[in-house]
Structure 1
Amino acid sequence: MIKGKEGSCKRVDIGGQAVMEGVMMKSKDAIAVSVRRPDGSIVVKRTPYHSPAEKHKWMGWPFVRGIINMGTMLSMGLNTLQTSTEMLGILNEEPSKFELWLSKKLGKGIDKIVMGVAMVLAIALSIGLFFMLPELFARLLKSVWPDPGMNWVVNLLSGLLRIVILICYILFCAKVPDVRRTFQYHGAEHKTVYCNEHNLELTPENADKFSTLHPRCGTSFLLLVFVISIVLFTLLGYQGSNYIWRLLSRLALLPVVAGISYEALRGLAHSNTKLTHILRWPGLQMQRLTTKAPTLDMLEVAIVSMNVALYGMPKVEITPEGYAVLKDYRESSPDYVRPATEQANQQEPIQGNSTPPPLSESL
């Protein structure tokens, strides 16, 4: 592994995330999702992407762009997750009678219903774990320390509890085999991004030399959100003993925290001083929980996404769903040249003997 490569990174318009058995990469103008199917083939899809700031300049303003980015990340994450399951064929199973009835009543496809329910449950779980539970803990602490001078301690401890819950949640998820594989694909995404940033040829062997820890990772952003929320909520004080009011005020301030965190992450990612190295360290260590060392075949999938996001779809047949099915990751490279044997097999057959025989011969 190339050491010291998890420091500052070059300013490039490429990033991504892990999906089901694959990787999503986002360039300035496109999103590419690649997955590895059970038969070993790599399936990739490319869709155009337009930044919200292209339509509305104010969405690109400092701090505002952090709030917009958080919403975009959530929406894009759910969409790419659904896309990856469709590409794997997970959602192609025959729906049950109940699923058909539900789809008919709601006027939506069963896949959209499933993703909608999953999104609602995920939001409910997040609010419960990271907002309601810490605020209940703060209420308990306040009953023990009613002195207003201890309010900052109450806010600090409830904020630290959020981070502890986050770490425990990630550790629990990592025990699930499918989630662990997703963490490996997360590592593959980071290694491939590093390889591209250092202008090396995109091969599994080159990408594998790099670290799985990257300063622009969403995990670092998430930790920054938690840390900055601790500082902000501590400065604001206890804000009364009404539990509902405190809970709603925390939720209302989340966009503000996201905006500050995004600007902080951008500054830390593209600076290379001793201070920024120290400030980056906690986020990089948190990534040790959400990234694992990938296999070479996982890196191949990440490379396909990178190539397609940057250079367009491979020069192969596209399925009606808009997928390209690759036997080799190198087919995604813009410089790929098919072997002569494959080109010969794809040529039209000679038509000289294609006419039917005379009637007498056919009898």
Structure 2
Amino acid sequence: MYGGQAVIEGVMMRSPRFFSIACRRRSDQQIIVKLESVEQIVPPFLQFLRKPFLRGTLALIDAMAMGIKALTYSANIQMEDETGAATASEDRQAASAANLAMGEGIAERDGVRPAPHGSEPLPPAAAAKAAAPQSINGIAIGATTVISLLFGYALFWIFPDQLTNLILPHHASSVHAHSWRMQIAGSVIDGLIRLLVFFIYLGLISRLAHVKRVFEYHGAEHKAINTLEAGQDLTLDNVRAASRIHPRCGTNFIFIVLTTAILVFVVIPRYRLADGIGLVLLSMLYKLLLLPVVAGISFEILKFAGSHRDKKWAQAMIAPGLWTQYITTRVPDDSQLEVSIASLKSVWDREHENGDAAKSSDAEPAAEVA
């Protein structure tokens, strides 16, 4: 029930009830940890959304909301270095306290250095000046997220669909000549193009220096979770020796979504622009409406394979998604492993404080995506 995400120079980890964001500050190389409670996104009257085949969409929404929050915080930490903002803000003091609360033993054993704490709060004018870049940064990340979603939908759904229409014979997408054989052929071609675009996209962005850093932290996150799930202590030696591949990885989830869509979208009629822009838009709308179905099925496949990770047939079922992680993860260095250890140990200690660990049934589903 533990999962996470790589962020800017750091790692976000979450347990059923808590999440932490650990980042290494560039100026002094100290690890800053922020620990918070997970906000439940499902009100009581919508608890049915946590049932099998419905919780996949919930997991996507939850992971996106928490991911944006983690990215914003990690970006703010790095921006403070660049803008010269003071380090004694309220968030910094809370982060330092959380870092110390997770245990000085980590610092002594594995080289994690808690941030200093106890300094005086900033004066109101200075605090407002320090908060201004963070507000702008939050707005920028929010705008970037919206643009990225639109770009992603166009790149991975609209473009493959229209390219498939160009490849198929004209009558295959005509409203006057619907054929199940052509529907199946169109869905398969559409899906293969989508997968090809996905791999090309990953290959291109993996060449960017800052993306490589994120992929290294992604590997560090997996290594820490694999160590925990193996029942081993979260020491630097144990985490370093763990695999950077994990069956519940979000990359694996995306791959399963893309392949599951081939089967689900076969029921949607295909239309060319020549058939009318209205019919083309209607087809796109059908795909949007069916995405929760695709996500629900894919999440159950991911969860099932993760719970049977020691079985060869389960490994074979998700093998392509596991192979994809060799692109989206990189071998981390020890300093990155220290960050992942600090983040995971923080939520583990808080989750088990006073022996009060949450039952798995109390957890939001996104905690199961690593």
TM-score (norm 2): 0.74
Offset from partner CA, 1:68-126 (integer Å, 9 cap, x none): 1111111111111001111223597399xxxxxxxx9xxx9322321221011111110
Aligned counterpart for 2:269 among listed residues 207, 222, 238 = 238
Mapped contact 2:158–2:284 kept (Cα < 8 A): yes
2:140 aligned counterpart, secondary structure: helix
Residue 80 in 1 paired to residue 70 in 2?
yes
Distance 2:304 2:230 in 1: 20
Residue 251 in 1 paired to residue 288 in 2?
yes
Match of 2:340 in 1: 302
Residue 265 in 1 paired to residue 297 in 2?
no
Aligned counterpart for 2:59 among listed residues 53, 62, 69 = 69
Q: How does 1:271-282 map to 2 (within 5 A)?
A: 271=308, 272-282=310-320
Offset from partner CA, 1:283-322 (integer Å, 9 cap, x none): 1001111001100110000000011111149xxxxxxxxx
Cα 1:154–1:35, aligned 2, differ >3 Å: closer, same or farther?
same
- The residue type equivalent to 1:32 in the other structure is S
Distance 2:156 2:75 in 1: 28
TM-score (norm 1): 0.75
- The residue type equivalent to 1:140 in the other structure is L
Shift of 1:50: 3.9
Mapped contact 1:135–1:243 kept (Cα < 8 A): no
Q: How does 1:38-187 map to 2 (within 5 A)?
A: 38=26, 39-52=28-41, 55=44, 56-89=46-79, 93=83, 109-144=135-170, 146=172, 148=179, 149-187=181-219
Mapped contact 2:305–2:318 kept (Cα < 8 A): yes
Pairs aligned (count): 291
Distance 2:187 2:321 in 1: 22
2:318 aligned counterpart, secondary structure: helix
Aligned counterpart for 1:31 among listed residues 19, 25, 29 = 19
Shift of 1:160: 0.9
Cα 1:239–1:133, aligned 2, differ >3 Å: closer, same or farther?
closer
Larger Rg: 1
Distance 1:70 1:222 in 2: 10
Aligned counterpart for 2:247 among listed residues 208, 215, 226 = 215
Match of 2:3 in 1: 15
Mapped contact 2:257–2:294 kept (Cα < 8 A): yes
Mapped contact 1:190–1:211 kept (Cα < 8 A): yes
1:201 aligned counterpart, secondary structure: coil
Identity across the alignment (%): 31
Q: Which has the higher helix share?
A: 2
Cα 1:58–1:232, aligned 2, differ >3 Å: closer, same or farther?
same
Shift of 1:53: 5.1
Mapped contact 1:85–1:91 kept (Cα < 8 A): no
Mapped contact 1:134–1:161 kept (Cα < 8 A): yes
Cα 1:91–1:157, aligned 2, differ >3 Å: closer, same or farther?
farther
Mapped contact 2:21–2:343 kept (Cα < 8 A): yes
The 10-residue stretch of structure 1 (85-94 or 124-133) with the greater mean CA deviation from structure 2: 85-94
Cα 1:90–1:255, aligned 2, differ >3 Å: closer, same or farther?
farther
Distance 2:329 2:171 in 1: 40
The alignment yields a C-alpha RMSD, in angstroms, of: 2.5
Shift of 1:239: 4.3
Cα 1:109–1:295, aligned 2, differ >3 Å: closer, same or farther?
closer
Aligned counterpart for 1:197 among listed residues 199, 220, 229 = 229
Q: Select the structure with the greater relative contact order (CA < 8 A; seq sep ≥ 6).
A: 2
Shift of 1:220: 0.5
Mapped contact 2:4–2:11 kept (Cα < 8 A): yes
Match of 2:326 in 1: 288
2:48 aligned counterpart, secondary structure: helix
Mapped contact 2:10–2:336 kept (Cα < 8 A): yes
2:69 aligned counterpart, secondary structure: helix
